[in-house]
Amino acid sequence: MEISKKFITSLVFLGLTFSFTQCSSAKGMKRESQKDFSYDEAERFAPSVAAAPKATPSAEISQNTSKPIKRMMVYSVNVNLQSKEIESKVTEVIKLAESFGGYALQYSSNGSVNLKIPAEKLKQFLFTLRNQSQNYSEEVSAQDVTEDFTDTEIRMENALKMRIRLLEILKTAKTLEETLKVEAELNKVSESIERFEGRLKYLSNAIQLSSVHVQVRQKWEPTVQKEYKPGPLGLPFYYLYVGLGKVKDGVLWLFVQEIPKEKTEIPE
């Protein structure tokens, strides 16, 4: 049995619409973000703005009170510190992370520790670790994923709307071939939704939990030679020991004397 032309047209139209929205959502998001942050755009187009009517005070107030977009940042931190005992310091760092709601992903006996710390407590955790460590240094990097997160949300919303429309078309399918065609499109859309959900979950976890890598190194301290002084009862014995040393040197001088060597000239 042949598929009706009306059914094919609606199915193709939905497919093209879904593809177009998925491809253009990123560009639309980029243009939208540029509008939100380009506050000096009027100065670059001064001639056109001059011809426009002057804005009222109420309009200026509403424009100034517009809420800025909340940026979504993913933080990564590398920490280097020193300690006399590596293993005990690693245990101390892990317990400190747990006290701030974090946990250890991996650690080793050579002093390498990978941690996950809640983003809202990251600054306080690093401050505490710095005060409890010696020769501390840190390197913080951040990645802005606001555009990626918002773009993925838009794509998932479009995919959910497309699935609803395909389900409505599936109810109107009259033949087996029509049903198979719609189910094939539903499978594609469902796979896209699962992929977008996974991406949003990954970004949310990365935003909420910051990555911290701590490297604990051995601290070497120079050995200090201790000086001993005789006590009140040991002073006579000390001076006796020093005096006998002088007598020994004198006796040796009476029997053994060092003869200076004559300088020999090297013939030319």
Q: What is the CATH number of the domain that holds 77?
A: 3.30.70
Q: Detail the DSSP E strand segments found in the chain.
A: 73-83, 103-107, 112-118, 134-144, 209-218
Tell me: do 116 and 150 sit in the same domain.
no
* pLDDT surpassing 80 at residue 4: no
Tell me: do 93 and 135 sit in the same domain.
yes
Place of tokens 């911290």: 212
Q: Which of 132 and 43 is assigned the larger pLDDT?
A: 132
Q: Is 259 part of a structural domain of the chain? A: no
Q: Is 68 part of a structural domain of the chain? A: no
Q: Is 12 part of a structural domain of the chain? A: no
Q: Averaged over 15-26, what is the pLDDT?
A: 53
Q: Is 202 part of a structural domain of the chain? A: yes
pLDDT at 9: 59
Q: How far apart are CA 64 and CA 8, in angstroms?
A: 50
C-alpha 114: how far from its chain's center? 11
Contact 156, 200 (CB under 8 A): yes
User: Using one digit for the tens of pLDDT, what is the confidence trace for 27-45?
Assistant: 444 443 333 332 233 233 3
Q: Is 126 part of a structural domain of the chain? A: yes
Global pTM reads 0.57
Q: How far apart are CA 45 and CA 49, in angstroms?
A: 6
Last residue of some domain: 143, 158, 176? 143
User: Using one digit for the tens of pLDDT, what is the confidence trace for 251-262?
Assistant: 766 776 666 666
Tell me: do 139 and 150 sit in the same domain.
no
21 Rama sector, left if φ>0, alpha if ψ -120 to 50, beta otherwise: alpha
If one counts the domains in the chain, the total is: 2
* Tokens encoding 6: 């009306």
Four-residue CA torsion sign, 169, 171, 175, 177:
positive
Last residue of some domain: 112, 143, 174? 143
Last residue of some domain: 100, 125, 143? 143
Contact 241, 108 (CB under 8 A): no
* pLDDT surpassing 80 at residue 221: no
* Tokens encoding 256: 């053994």
Q: 156 lies in which domain range?
A: 146-207
Q: Which of 92 and 57 is assigned the larger pLDDT?
A: 92
